[in-house]
């Protein structure tokens, strides 16, 4: 079994757990944006958006660059490969369990149709 850094996972999943932060990532996937632009788009204060961007930046999902008074955000270099592998492992386990459950359901229906 592959071992993953729990701290890295906690940071990633915590960053992704918030709908606003997921929206920010989606937005930055389309184009870089200033914190001001993001705050306006998500109808929140600059302080609130700075906190969200800080969480994403801490997780390595966003990078920021300050030029003059404008802080521009862009997607970070982290691509969540380890997190995807972890999720995929559990997806395979659940798929196998559901396949077994399907077999049980089919067998029960077969028996039900044979009953007088």
Q: What CATH number does residue 15 fall under?
A: 1.10.10.10
Residue 65 lies in a domain: yes
How far is residue 110's CA from residue 113's CA, in Å, rounded to a whole number? Answer: 5
* pLDDT tens by residue, 10-28: 899 999 999 999 999 999 9
Q: What is the pLDDT of residue 3?
A: 55
Q: What is the pLDDT of residue 6?
A: 67
Range of the domain at 116: 80-116
Give Dmax over CA atoms of the chain in angstroms: 82
Q: Is the same domain home to 97 and 69?
A: no
Residue 1 lies in a domain: no
Read off the pTM. 0.74
Identify the DSSP state of 80.
-
Q: What is the pLDDT of residue 1?
A: 45
How far is residue 16's CA from residue 93's CA, in Å, rounded to a whole number? Answer: 23
Contact (CB, 8 A) for 82 and 4: yes
Ranges of residues in the chain whose predicted pLDDT is under 50: 1
- Looking at 1-76, list the stretches that DSSP marks H as alpha helix, in order from N- to C-terminal side: 6-16, 19-30, 35-41, 46-58
Q: What is the pLDDT of residue 49?
A: 97
List strands edge to edge, sheet with 70-75: 33-34, 70-75, 62-67
């Amino acid at each position: 079994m592959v071992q993953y850094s729990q701290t890295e996972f906690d940071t990633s999943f915590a960053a992704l757990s918030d709908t606003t932060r997921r929206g920010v990532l989606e937005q930055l996937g389309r184009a870089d944006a200033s914190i001001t632009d993001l705050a306006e788009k998500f109808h929140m204060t600059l302080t609130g958006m700075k906190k969200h961007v800080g969480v994403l930046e801490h997780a390595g999902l966003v990078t920021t660059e300050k030029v003059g008074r404008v802080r521009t955000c862009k997607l970070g270099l982290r691509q969540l490969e380890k997190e995807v592998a972890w999720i995929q492992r559990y997806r395979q386990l659940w798929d196998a369990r559901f396949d077994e459950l399907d077999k049980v359901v089919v067998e029960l229906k077969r028996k039900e149709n044979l009953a007088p």
